Chain A
Amino acid sequence: MNLTSIIINILAIGCLFLSFNKDKQKTKKAIKIAVKTFLKILPTILLIVALVGLLIGFVPHAVILKFMGNQSGIVGIFVSALLGAILYIPSIVAFPLAASFLKAGATVTAVATFITTLTMIGFVTLPLEIKELGKRIAVLRNGISFLLAVLIGIIIGAIL
């Protein structure tokens, strides 16, 4: 347990007390939503836990280095960006995965690009986005986001 998780837990418990003081009914509903959201995300969490184990235990260091490491260059950035755009992982669960990529030798650029496309771009939700907002806005938003994600990754990689 580290400082970040202590602060977040204190914040959550503080908000819960505040909410409970103001409106018990609403707070009950909030806890219900929290439990439901948690149950919905739980299988994905457990899957990522297994995946991280497999990644560290089985995928050779050289493979990650080749696709997301220092030697991968521009290709590595695009592989990471594409991976993030296609995969549909809740972002909260994606950060541990990203951290283990880093540990396994991926560059900061690759990891930052991966997270940014993962969150900003939804291949799976694109049909819904087109339906609700029209083709032009949806395609423009996802397309420009892809390029920006690569740019963000490169800048972060250059600074860190």
Chain B
Amino acid sequence: MKTNLKAHQKKPTLKSWLFLTAGVIFTVVLLIIFPDRQPAVIKSSGQIFWEMLWILPAVMLLIGLFAVWVPKEVIVKLMGTASGIRGIGLSLLLGSLPTGPLYVAFPMAAALIKKGARTSNIVIFLSAWACIKIPQEMVELQFLGARFMALRLGLTIIFVIIMGVSIEKIMEAKVTQKGKK
């Protein structure tokens, strides 16, 4: 699994550097052709860069610390047996820990299915992993404000739980249908 994940990480990095090079060339050429746009572009780029510079190192540090102190095995172990409201809560909480990109969560979710975890919990866990990450919420707070962030977070949590339970129901219905045949 480890080599597999590494292979997944290496390729996008090279690709994103190529994208960046192309983007920078494109920007520079555009700015040379349209010198009157230079102040607006440089000002807004500089502003965004400055804001990110203040927040991203701290976010990265938190991601690193969580990855070390809350290893994947612990998460799988905690979630494997939980059910009911405790299961939903744990799935949300463990999914929201800042422990890496979504593709890291798929093998974990597959391991959880094998362990007999409930479908609803797995879907909630995956969705929380995808969109309720703690550092992500901090950056959202920084750039979009407290009301926007809190509202989106609250709605997402509610809908993710509903979705998890619904998908479990759909999957169970399919299974019983097959059983009857």
B159 touches A151 (CB 8 A): yes
Interface secondary structure of A, over-half rule: helix
Interface secondary structure of B, over-half rule: helix
* Residue of A whose beta carbon sits closest to that of B126: A141
Number of A-B contacts (CB under 8 A): 230
Q: Flag whether B61 is at the interface (Cβ < 8 A).
A: yes
A145 to B119, CA, bound (A): 16
Chain A nearest Cβ from B74, distance in angstroms: 14
Interface residue total, chain B, C-beta cutoff 8 A: 78
Contact of A156 among B16, B151, B170 (CB under 8 A): B151
A128 to B103, CA, bound (A): 7
Q: Flag whether B78 is at the interface (Cβ < 8 A).
A: no
Pairs A–B under 8 Å by Cβ, sample size 25: A4-B55, A5-B142, A9-B58, A30-B68, A34-B60, A39-B13, A43-B13, A44-B19, A45-B56, A46-B23, A49-B45, A53-B44, A55-B44, A56-B44, A91-B131, A92-B56, A95-B144, A96-B51, A120-B131, A131-B106, A133-B106, A133-B126, A152-B152, A152-B156, A160-B148
Which residues of B are in contact with A by a Cβ distance under 8 Å? 8-9, 12-13, 16-17, 19-20, 23-24, 27, 30, 34, 37-38, 40-42, 44-45, 48-49, 51-52, 54-65, 67-69, 101-103, 106-107, 109-110, 113, 119, 122-123, 126-127, 130-131, 133, 135-136, 138-144, 147-148, 151-152, 155-156, 159-160, 163, 166-167, 170-171, 174
